[in-house]
Structure 1
Amino acid sequence: MIKADAYTLGVVSRISKAQLAELRTREAKLMSSSKPSILSRSSASYSHFRNSRTFNAADLHQVMNIAGRALEIAIATRAFRDRQSLSNEELELGMLQDDLTLTPLGDTCAPKIFCDSVPERYRRIDGACNNIRHPAWGSHLTPYARLLPPSYKDGVWSPRVSEYDGAPLASPRKISTTLFKDENIYQSGHTLLVMQFGQYMAHEITQSIDNSFMNGSAVACCQPDGSAALDPNFRHDACMPIIIPEDDPFYGMFQQRCMNFVRSLLAPRHDCTMGYAEQMNKVSHFIDASSVYGSTPDQTGQLRSFEGGKLITFDDFGRDLLPITKDSEACLTMEQGSACFNSGDTRTNQMITLAVLHTIFMREHNRLASELQRLNPSWSDERLFLEARQILIAEIQVVVYKEFLPAVIGEQAMKEFNLNLKRGREYSYEYDPSIEPSVTNEFTTAAFRFGHSIVDGQLKVYGTKKMEEIIFIPEVMFHPSRMRKRHFFDQILSTLTTEPIQEVDDCFSDALTRYMFRAGNPFGIDLAALNIQRGRDHGIRPYNDYRELVGLSRYTSFNDFGPKGEALRKVYASVDDVDLWVGGLFEEKPEGSMVGYVFRDIIADQFVRLKNGDKYFFENDPSLNPGHFTPDQLEELRKVSMSRIICDNSDGILLARQAINAFRIPGVAGNDVVDCSSELIPRINLFYWKENHI
Structure 2
Amino acid sequence: MVDIDLWQLGEGFPAENTQRLPMANPPPPTNHSSYVRQQETAKVDRFFKLGNPRGNENPFLLTFGIVWFRWHNHVAKYLRSVHRGWSGERVFNEARKWVIATYQAVVFYDWLPRYMHTSLPKYQAYRPTVDPQVSHIFQSAAMRFGHTLVTSGVYLRTRNEQGCISLPYELTAPEGSSQRRVVGVRTCNSFWRSPELFTRDPAHFERLLMGLSSQSTEQEDNVIVDDLRGRVFGPLEFSRRDLMAINIQRGRDHGLPDYNTARRHFGLATLDSLDTEEYKRKTGTHVEDQVLSSLRSLYDNDPSKVDIWPGGLLETRNGPGQLFSKVILDQFERIRDADRFWFENNNNELVQSLTLFSSFTLLFFKVYI
Q: 1:639 to 1:571 in 2, by over 3 A?
A: farther
Aligned partners of 2:23 and 2:350: how far apart in 1?
Answer: 40
Counterpart of 2:111 in structure 1: which amino acid? F
1:233-382 aligned at under 5 Å gives the runs: 315-326=7-18, 327=20, 330-331=24-25, 332=27, 339-382=46-89
Q: 1:526 to 1:402 in 2, by over 3 A?
A: same
Q: Which of the two has greater helix per residue?
A: 2
What's the CA shift string for 1:519-574, capped at 9, x where partnerless?
23253110000000001111110111222223221011111234233111232132
Q: 1:399 to 1:329 in 2, by over 3 A?
A: closer
Do residues 578 (structure 1) and 285 (structure 2) align? no
Structure-2 residue corresponding to 1:432:
127
Counterpart of 1:606 in structure 2: which amino acid? Q
1:572-651 aligned at under 5 Å gives the runs: 572-573=299-300, 574-589=302-317, 594-622=319-347, 625=348, 627-630=349-352, 633-639=353-359, 641=361, 644-645=363-364, 647-649=366-368
Counterpart of 2:145 in structure 1: which amino acid? F
* CA apart distance, 1:639: 4.5
What's the CA shift string for 1:399-426, capped at 9, x where partnerless?
1122011011123xx2xx41x45xxxxx
Aligned partners of 2:269 and 2:246: how far apart in 1?
Answer: 28
Structure-2 residue corresponding to 1:462:
157
Aligned partners of 1:528 and 1:482: how far apart in 2?
Answer: 27
- Please point out which of 250, 255, 264 is paired with 1:539: 255
Q: 1:554 to 1:472 in 2, by over 3 A?
A: same
Q: 1:578 to 1:640 in 2, by over 3 A?
A: farther
Unaligned runs of 5+ in 1: 1-312, 422-427, 650-657, 659-694
- TM-score using structure 1 length: 0.43
**8 Å contact 2:7–2:16 — kept in the other structure?**
no
Aligned partners of 2:266 and 2:62: how far apart in 1?
Answer: 36
Q: 1:588 to 1:317 in 2, by over 3 A?
A: closer
* CA apart distance, 1:644: 4.2
Name the Cα RMSD after superposition: 2.5
* CA apart distance, 1:487: 2.2
**8 Å contact 1:474–1:518 — kept in the other structure?**
no
SS in 1 for 2:227: helix
* CA apart distance, 1:382: 1.9
**8 Å contact 1:561–1:586 — kept in the other structure?**
no
Aligned partners of 2:336 and 2:202: how far apart in 1?
Answer: 39
**8 Å contact 1:314–1:320 — kept in the other structure?**
no
What's the CA shift string for 1:570-618, capped at 9, x where partnerless?
32132111111111111153xxx72111111111111111111011111
Counterpart of 1:356 in structure 2: which amino acid? T
* CA apart distance, 1:440: 0.9
Counterpart of 2:143 in structure 1: which amino acid? F
**8 Å contact 1:407–1:594 — kept in the other structure?**
no
Counterpart of 2:307 in structure 1: which amino acid? D
Of residues 514-523 and 551-560 in structure 1, the stretch that sits farther from structure 2 once superposed is 514-523
Identity within the alignment, %: 28
Structure-2 residue corresponding to 1:568:
295
**8 Å contact 2:221–2:316 — kept in the other structure?**
no
- Please point out which of 173, 181, 192 is paired with 1:478: 192
Structure-2 residue corresponding to 1:445:
140
Q: 1:517 to 1:541 in 2, by over 3 A?
A: same
Counterpart of 1:561 in structure 2: which amino acid? Y
- Count of residues in correspondence between the two structures: 317
Q: 1:347 to 1:479 in 2, by over 3 A?
A: same
Larger Rg: 1
What's the CA shift string for 1:471-502, capped at 9, x where partnerless?
22111110111122132101111111111112
Counterpart of 1:648 in structure 2: which amino acid? V
Aligned partners of 2:23 and 2:331: how far apart in 1?
Answer: 33
What's the CA shift string for 1:142-183, capped at 9, x where partnerless?
xxxxxxxxxxxxxxxxxxxxxxxxxxxxxxxxxxxxxxxxxx
SS in 2 for 1:394: helix
Q: 1:460 to 1:523 in 2, by over 3 A?
A: farther
SS in 2 for 1:431: coil
Aligned partners of 1:443 and 1:314: how far apart in 2?
Answer: 37
- TM-score using structure 2 length: 0.79
Aligned partners of 1:585 and 1:514: how far apart in 2?
Answer: 18
**8 Å contact 1:369–1:388 — kept in the other structure?**
yes
Aligned partners of 1:319 and 1:384: how far apart in 2?
Answer: 17
**8 Å contact 1:365–1:392 — kept in the other structure?**
yes
SS in 1 for 2:12: strand
SS in 2 for 1:614: coil
Counterpart of 2:308 in structure 1: which amino acid? L
Aligned partners of 1:369 and 1:379: how far apart in 2?
Answer: 11
Unaligned runs of 5+ in 2: 29-40, 168-182, 281-288
Aligned partners of 1:482 and 1:395: how far apart in 2?
Answer: 27
Relative contact order: is structure 1 or structure 2 higher (C-alpha 8 Å, sep ≥ 6)? 2
Aligned partners of 2:230 and 2:77: how far apart in 1?
Answer: 45
**8 Å contact 2:220–2:316 — kept in the other structure?**
no
* CA apart distance, 1:319: 4.7
SS in 2 for 1:515: strand
SS in 2 for 1:561: helix
Counterpart of 2:184 in structure 1: which amino acid? I
Aligned partners of 1:533 and 1:404: how far apart in 2?
Answer: 29
